Amino acid sequence: MDNILAPIQDAFEGQIDFHGQHLAETLSTILLIISGITAFIVGYVQQDIYLTLWIGLAGTAFTGLVVIPPWPFYNRNPEKWLNSTGSNRSTTSPEINVPGIVVDGVKVG
């Protein structure tokens, strides 16, 4: 059962990398500008404000469909995180104790 649910869970976790975040922001800006300009031009030519609003709404909905879900192309460059090296960490407390860190001349941890 875990073999079936694992890909579905990965799809809904929403993991995207930093490049994917930048791509999503760029896509949302470009798509909203294009839909806004298209809505304005079509509405101006047709002299219909309702058509302008519907085209703008459709462009916004399309932009949301492209940007909001965590599509796989947003996670093409995942970060390589460092492994933990401390062996004296407590497994019961949520605090992380890292020995040897000095902040403003005071040893922390």
Round to whole Å and give the CA distance between 74 and 8.
17
28-73 confidence digits (pLDDT tens): 999 999 999 999 999 999 999 999 999 999 999 999 999 998 888 8
Per-residue pLDDT, 52: 97
The β-bridge relationship of strands 101-103 and 106-108 is antiparallel
Q: How confident is the model at residue 101 (pLDDT cuts 50, 70, 90)?
A: confident
Question: In the chain, what are the helix, strand and coil shares in percent, each to the nearest 5?
Answer: 60, 5, 35
- What per-residue confidence (pLDDT) applies to 87? 54
pLDDT above 70 covers a percentage of the chain that reads 82
- Whether 43 and 59 have beta carbons less than 8 Å apart is answered as no
Residue 63's pLDDT is 97
Domains of the chain by residue range = 10-75
